[in-house]
Structure 1
Amino acid sequence: MGVVVMGVGICGAFPTSSGLSYRELIAKAAMAAYEEAGVTAEQIEGAVSCEEDFISGYSIADEYTPDQLGMVRKPVYTINGDFTHGICSAVMQIQTGRFKLLVVEGYSKASNLLTKDEILHFALDPTYNRFGLSPHYLAGIEMQQFVQNSVFSAADVAEIAARSRRRCLGNPLAPYGEKLSTADVLGSRPLATPVTELMVARPADAAVIVVLGSEEVALETASKPVYISGTGWASGNSIIERRAHYVSRGTQLAAQTAYAEAAITAPESELDLAYVADLYAHRQLMHMEALGLGPEFLPFINPDGGAQGMGDLFEATGGARFYDAVRQLRGEAGAHQVEGAKTALVHGWRGLPTDSCAVVILDANGGSHE
């Protein structure tokens, strides 16, 4: 594909970050990414910003993005979707030949939100879906249908949440690591039966920046390039009454495209690790099935603890997974390093009520899967 990850930067994740504005979070992450990429802000030709006005708290929120990225009179393309959607967009823009060096940006300042659930209500149809209930009710419907139509049980879902919280104890960036049991998760406060409080990722603050470049430019300055060998994105039915709630059709379609581009035909044997969206614990299992990854692949999924351990970062959630994937392929992940990892999948999901997903394949060796 000729698109290379030149540098990555992160500031966070924090349960709260009262000492930093969202602009400072982004600026700190950007400086780290530029340093890794061996570039200056002046060299960046444009940005893809992944954010949502409702969450930012004001209209046309992306008009503030250039300042903290150090850009002047450069184009900013905004996507109201997960960070992985932004990666896909930037890849396409570089492939046109119009750009050679782009930045993808996403952030969360969740601690500024007093009533996150009220924001989530706005995503639901006001006439047919917004019942004045917890917006998690749709997750409850999904999990009910998923355990009825799969080999997994509620206890299996609970173990996913407990496992992620335990795994992220080896990730210094993850604020929600703790030793939990399946019984702890099942016995936590019900949100929307059978979904319990500990099955849902908790909000956190962070900013993630990724510098992407054409192969020609990247190999001049990037000391540890990682290659993007495949991308795909898709959405399930937007009308939730017509959607099969036990399967992620968006993930299936996105994976088909990404696997085809990366020449992957047997993901379980050709991937070394995978980052799978897990804002709700049952969704990790649902997404794994859609990606063609069975339970035996669990040891290689979300080694950083996923969103369950690192937090719901809104549009930046997939960015945190992308950041860790790059670190893994460079052998820089520290205590949670997967030995010998060379090929990784990063899956992103916009969150309920959508089934809007993206898949990115990363390769340390420039696309070779041998």
Structure 2
Amino acid sequence: MFDYETLKIIWWGFVAVLLIGFALMDGFDFGVGMLLPIIGKNDVERRIMLNSIGPTWEGNQTWFIAAGGALFAAWPLAYAAAFSGFYVALMLLLFSLFFRPVGFDYRSKIADTRWRATWDWLLFVGGFVPPLIFGIAFGNLLLGVPFYYDGDMRLAYQGGLIELLNPFGLLAGVLSVAMLCMHGAAFLITKTNGALAQRARHSLIIAAGVTVICFAVSGLVIAKQVEGFRILSMPDTNSAFMPVAKIVSRANGAWLDNYSHWSWLWCVPTIAFSAVLASVFLTIHRHAVSAFIASGIAVTAIILTAGLSMFPFVMPSSINPNSSLTAWDVVASHKSLGIMFWVVVIFLPIIMMYTAWIYRVMRGKIDEQHIVEHQHSAY
């Protein structure tokens, strides 16, 4: 069996895979939801959009559940701190997600224009709010979250929803929304034809432009203005210890330390920029599947850029840096990580193969004829 330090690194990777999987699989569902009332000009087009994701969106959302379960089991301290510090934001996230299953089930039940238009905008909320909240939350992780552990190791949080809505947090939120809107538009291009597909192409180009700008500005702000976190000393990483056992400092540019130590990491943000531009290029030249793959690579690289900048920090503390949670001290016991490792190794490939099979079965474009022929069964 792996030693404790190795398992800690492996589980950082597992959590990253689950979060990226959620962003990739459910991300284009969010993107389609955002675009639903904007590029869908009539009821048929909006039903085409809904039917492009209708058969698979529930399966995609299980990545979110899996990521939450992994946080609870492998990173219990981060799970507790996040659900305390981001409680109001997470409740808003939860309530916005409610609109998706209800909207899919009830939108087409009544052939009334106002009824369907209302659900279209509620599905828009269900697609727009979660990426915005996730982006704002991640932006605040880079800034540091106002929590600390007292002498009895009780978690105390000092802050609220308003404090999360700072300029950098909102910039990260816009980046997240634009990134997944681009991904959703790329997916729609693979599933639709005609005028709807053309509007999806225009949407991808606009969203890609916003993504590149926000990603570049975020990088400059992190490099020049944001105080990152740096571990000065801590116990042996192969041992179990509490978060307050280490000494952490803050300094401008500290989030670039990993890129300074391992220069090859610069290929990750480079890939992010290149993949966004490639998605635009491939979209213009009508290579739909390749454009979708490029947008997926862009989403992956953007998330990895932030994660690699923060490593090993998971949830830094802006009040007491020594209380910051890292991949070394946020984890469950050695035995727990070892047991869950084999669970993931066995079941994650099965889930991925099953998901690939589902998308192979569901491949192909959705058109108006499909909606007409399935009036009572289509979304």
Q: Same fold (TM over 0.5)?
A: no
Bigger share in helix: 2
**Greater radius of gyration (CA):** 2
Bigger share in strand: 1
